[in-house]
């Protein structure tokens, strides 16, 4: 089943700057790191010369499975080329792939109302109805969206005769119980694919989709053997990317399930790499009293990591970048031609000082920067983070796991958690042992252990000589008493603000507090959404929660107050609207002597406050960190749909935002 996102037939730009930009995208867009480099350094004035540049970049991002990036590029392109149909279609496709089905559908319905009756518009619109059908809470809604999906796929097929909408029409007809229609269209599509393959040959860029579609047509017809043969040819004769193979496998499983067969019966036709999620010990510092990972064993450990990556077929890696295991893992993934995503708990210079620069002669800092330069993405969770507080490392490991889960959901690839560990108890939250325990719970996959203790024991038995630990001269000065530290806690935060509050007449303030804040107070007492802390400043609400689940529930309840209350019948006598921002991160719980109670403070509280102003009126926006932790928690009540990269106020930088909405 093919998505219509092939930009290969797009026109060339007619201007030198535009032509150069388009050439750049085509040359660099085959890898995620290359495409990100082009995008992050692009000159908007050059890209504005030709819509083809944006189309090409969005198409490349979609092919690489980067729906988030493709949406961001499309959004900027539409600021310049607001009415470009193809760019709108690609933006809708990107939204659909991130799970933002409603927003994708709204774009496509708009195109239909403008008279766009082409295969792509019908096909992507049908796909959104298919998504709604799969998540609809009632049988009535499911039946409605199933009918709409089938109808739109049929319209797309009738207007184009294309195999893309044709095979989808056949598949949805089968699911809808329209067996005769399904069989007829499936047979027609098989002929289309076989004729096209005979003309273009197996070296054509279309060959993968033609063979995969022929396989799906056979599956719709109940011919499992032919389906297996064609799926195998598609994945072996062509050179498809993981994104294409993943979508094909998902559709095969979908059809097998609705034919009441083992949905994994054809999985052996699809070879997909895995996403590696890694953490492990740092290299030993010179003054470490007992050896754990001596620098002399770095190449031995590298060999173990490379063997693990080969064995698990890992092509995407998520890790931090401390010296030792992290750097070796990232270097090994890049050596295989894979992509790495790096997440750091605090700013680069502080991280280097505390976690990289331990042996100047080893070139660790240079290697660190080489990996950063080659990484597909780099995220810094807190520019002001405290390197001596374990909460920052714990939070980093949680976001790593959640980000890998989000990636696996988009690509349909399994996660392979890997620990380089000596089997001993660690130093608390953020240590290797605690990470392993957390990942087992969060990902529910077996964690592969690279046994550092066994590697060290074998090396010592084979005569490895270790340098004596560096001696620290005794100081004549009396020991300095350690400063008492307040540990941080990972918490979720909410900021909400009433739109237009400053323009309310003075006499409306008391009824606002009574009617609106009174209703919020009722939510606060609910046991399933109770905050640890809440405060107000006029119309603004700040709340801190134990976890993202309760924060999300509170935000939805707050949103529902606005939707369900007829404000004209209250003492306020006017409608009101709010913006809500959600974030998560390590914060300090401190006793405020002025207020006489505990409060929460820290850089992540400030960041949460910066998210609310970029939220759309009436909506709940969350940070990427919140979405990552929600991906681990898997709350039943809400989902996080990608909403694009936004510029935060007061110079707080850029942030990837997610729209929080009810599951049903």
Digit-coded pLDDT (tens) for 231-253: 999 998 888 888 889 889 999 99
Query: Which residue has better confidence, 515 or 260?
Result: 260
Give phi and psi for 18, each to the nearest 5: -65, -40
Compute, in degrees rounded to 10, the torsion defined by CA atoms 546, 428, 635, 610.
Answer: 60
Query: Which residue has better confidence, 566 or 119?
Result: 119
Count Cβ atoms below 10 Å from residue 500 Cβ, excluding itself. Answer: 12
Prediction pTM value: 0.79
Q: How many whole angstroms separate alpha carbon 198 and alpha carbon 214?
A: 13
Q: Residue 468 pLDDT more than 80?
A: no
Q: Tokens representing 538? A: 């006029």
Mean pLDDT of 98-120: 85
Lowest-pLDDT choice from 12-26, 371-385, 550-564: 12-26
Which domains are present in the chain? 16-269 (1.25.40.10), 274-461 (3.40.50.450), 488-662 (3.30.70.1230)
Give phi and psi for 237, each to the nearest 5: -75, -30
Tell me if residue 399 falls in helix, strand or coil: helix
- 316-330, 491-505, 559-573 — which one is most confidently predicted on average? 316-330
Q: Tokens representing 262? A: 């083992």
**What residues does 578 pair with on adjacent strands?**
498
Task: Determine the pLDDT at residue 427.
Answer: 53
Mean pLDDT of 71-76: 92
Tell me if residue 583 falls in helix, strand or coil: strand
DSSP 117: -
Q: How many whole angstroms separate alpha carbon 170 and alpha carbon 261?
A: 18
Q: How many whole angstroms separate alpha carbon 321 and alpha carbon 442?
A: 21
Strand pairing report for 578-592 and 448-451? unpaired
Residues in the chain: 664
Task: Determine the pLDDT at residue 538.
Answer: 78
Task: Determine the pLDDT at residue 4.
Answer: 43
Q: How many whole angstroms separate alpha carbon 431 and alpha carbon 427?
A: 6
- Residue 196 banded pLDDT, cuts 50, 70, 90: very high
- Selection from 104, 69, 99 nearest residue 88 by Cα: 104
Lowest-pLDDT choice from 171-180, 302-311, 577-586, 638-647: 638-647
Query: Nearest 5 degrees, angle CA 145-CA 147-CA 151?
Result: 115
Average pLDDT, the chain: 87
Lowest-pLDDT choice from 49-53, 621-625, 646-650: 646-650
Alpha helices in 488-589 (DSSP H): 509-512, 518-524, 548-564
DSSP 513: I
- What are the distances in angstroms from CA 142 to CA 148, 174, 220? 10, 15, 21
Q: Residue 480 pLDDT more than 70?
A: no
Task: Determine the pLDDT at residue 475.
Answer: 55
Quick one: what percent of the chain has pLDDT higher than 70?
93
Give phi and psi for 262, each to the nearest 5: -60, 115
Sheet with strand 339-344: strands edge to edge: 377-380, 339-344, 314-319, 274-280, 415-421, 448-451
Task: Determine the pLDDT at residue 473.
Answer: 57
Task: Determine the pLDDT at residue 322.
Answer: 96
Burial of 619 (0-12, 13-18, 19+ CB in 10 A): middle
């Amino acid at each position: 089943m093919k998505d219509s996102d092939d930009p290969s037939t797009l026109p060339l730009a007619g201007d030198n700057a535009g032509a150069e930009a388009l050439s750049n995208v085509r040359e660099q867009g085959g890898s995620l790191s290359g495409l990100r480099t082009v995008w992050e350094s692009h000159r908007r004035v050059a890209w504005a010369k030709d819509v083809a540049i944006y189309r090409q970049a969005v198409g490349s991002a979609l092919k690489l499975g980067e729906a988030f990036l493709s949406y961001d590029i499309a959004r900027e392109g539409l600021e310049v080329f607001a009415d470009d149909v193809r760019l709108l279609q690609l933006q809708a496709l990107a939204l659909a792939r991130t799970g933002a089905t409603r927003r994708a559908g709204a774009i496509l319905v708009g195109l239909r109302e403008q008279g766009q009756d082409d295969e792509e518009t019908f096909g992507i619109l049908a796909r959104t109805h298919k998504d709604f059908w799969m998540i609809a809470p009632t049988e009535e809604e499911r039946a409605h969206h199933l009918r709409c999906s089938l109808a739109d796929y049929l319209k797309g097929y009738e207007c184009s005769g294309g195999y893309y909408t044709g095979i989808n029409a056949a598949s949805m007809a089968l699911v809808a119980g329209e067996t005769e229609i399904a069989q007829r269209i499936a047979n027609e599509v098989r002929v289309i694919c076989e004729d096209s393959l005979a003309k273009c040959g197996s070296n054509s860029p279309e060959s993968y989709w033609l063979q995969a579609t022929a396989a799906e047509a056979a599956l719709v017809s109940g011919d499992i053997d032919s389906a297996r043969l064609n799926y195998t040819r598609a994945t072996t004769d062509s050179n498809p990317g993981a994104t294409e193979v993943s979508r094909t496998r998902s559709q095969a499983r979908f059809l097998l399930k609705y034919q009441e067969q083992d949905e994994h019966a054809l999985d052996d036709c699809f070879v997909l790499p895995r996403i590696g999620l890694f953490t492990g010990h740092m290299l030993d510092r010179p003054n470490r009293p007992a050896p754990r990972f001596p620098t002399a064993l770095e190449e031995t450990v590298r060999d173990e990591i490379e063997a693990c990556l080969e064995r698990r077929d890992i092509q995407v890696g998520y890790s931090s970048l401390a010296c030792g295991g992290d750097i070796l893992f990232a270097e090994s993934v890049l050596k295989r031609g894979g992509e790495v995503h790096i997440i750091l708990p605090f700013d680069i210079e502080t991280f280097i000082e505390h976690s990289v620069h331990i042996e100047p002669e080893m070139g660790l800092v240079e290697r660190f920067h080489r990996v950063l330069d080659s990484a597909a993405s780099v995220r810094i969770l807190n520019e002001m983070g405290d390197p001596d507080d374990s909460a920052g490392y714990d939070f980093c490991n949680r976001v790593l796991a959640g980000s890998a889960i989000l990636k696996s959901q988009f690509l349909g690839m399994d996660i392979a958690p890997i620990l380089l560990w000596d089997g001993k108890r660690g130093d608390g939250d953020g240590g290797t042992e605690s990470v392993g325990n957390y990942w087992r719970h969060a990902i529910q996959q077996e964690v592969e252990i690279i046994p550092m203790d066994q590697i060290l024991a074998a090396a010592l038995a084979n005569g490895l000589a270790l340098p004596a630990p560096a001696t620290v001269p005794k100081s004549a000065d009396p020991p300095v008493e350690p400063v008492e530290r307040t540990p941080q806690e990972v918490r979720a935060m909410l900021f909400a603000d009433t739109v237009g509050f400053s323009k309310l007449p003075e006499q409306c303030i008391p009824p606002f507090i009574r009617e609106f804040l009174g209703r919020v107070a009722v939510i606060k007492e609910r046991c399933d959404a109770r905050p640890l802390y809440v405060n107000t400043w006029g119309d603004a609400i700040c709340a801190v929660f134990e976890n993202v689940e309760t924060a999300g529930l509170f935000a939805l309840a707050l949103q529902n107050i606005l939707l369900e209350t007829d404000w004209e019948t209250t003492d306020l006598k006017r409608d009101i609207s709010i913006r809500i921002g959600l974030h998560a991160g390590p914060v300090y719980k401190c006793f405020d002597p002025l207020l006489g109670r505990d409060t929460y403070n820290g850089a992540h509280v400030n960041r949460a406050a910066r998210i609310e102003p970029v939220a759309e009126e009436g909506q709940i926006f969350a940070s990427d960190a919140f979405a990552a932790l929600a991906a681990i928690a898997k709350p039943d009540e809400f989902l996080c749909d990608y909403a694009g990269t936004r510029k935060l106020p007061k110079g707080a930088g850029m942030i990837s935002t997610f729209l929080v909405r009810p599951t049903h």
